[in-house]
Amino acid sequence: MARLRAKLDEARAGHGALVMLVGEPGIGKSRTIEEFAEQARAGGALVLTGRCFEGEWAPPYAPFAEAIAGYAKAATPDTLRADLGYGAPPVARPSLLCMNGFPTSASLSRSTRTKSAFACSTPYRS
């Protein structure tokens, strides 16, 4: 937990990093990260979550898309626009972004529209 808190402090100071919490099933990875997320939120951090699931196939970048989609649902349009910018539709769920004043999917390339349509039709597990 101390290492996670140290990395959060570094991020607050402008030095981002990637931390991976890995291990065998049942050793407490989920509980550790849930506890850390609670502490980070209590300290004023914005915590976005996305999960990985085992299986034969998962949408590319699903945990990141899930995290952004959850944020897009909760954020005000102005905050969302400021945080994600106008390049966000290919990354986040376009139906949420278009409702919040982002460019419509018609302004995106055919390839991006196809990927976005798939992302919008794929239910995210929670």
* 63 close to 51: Cβ distance less than 8 angstroms: yes
Rounded distance between C-alpha atoms, residue 26 and residue 89, angstroms: 36
Q: In this predicted model, what pLDDT tens digit does every residue of 75-118 receive, in sequence order?
A: 888 887 788 776 665 555 444 444 444 444 455 555 554 444 44
Q: What pLDDT does 84 receive?
A: 72
Confidence label for 11 from pLDDT (cuts 50, 70 and 90): very high
Q: Confirm if 68 and 91 have CB atoms less than 8 A apart.
A: yes
- Tokens 């099933």 belong to 25
Instruction: Tell me the per-residue pLDDT of 47-79, one tens digit each, with 9 for 90 and over.
Output: 988 888 777 887 778 888 888 888 888 888 888
Q: Which helix (H) or strand (E) holds 25?
A: none
Nearest to 33 by CA among 55, 48, 17, 53: 48
Residue 6 has pLDDT above 60, yes or no: yes
Alpha-carbon distance of 5 to 115, in angstroms, equals 36
- Kindly give, in sequence order, each residue whose CB lies less than 8 Å from that of residue 13, ignoring residues fewer than 6 positions away: none
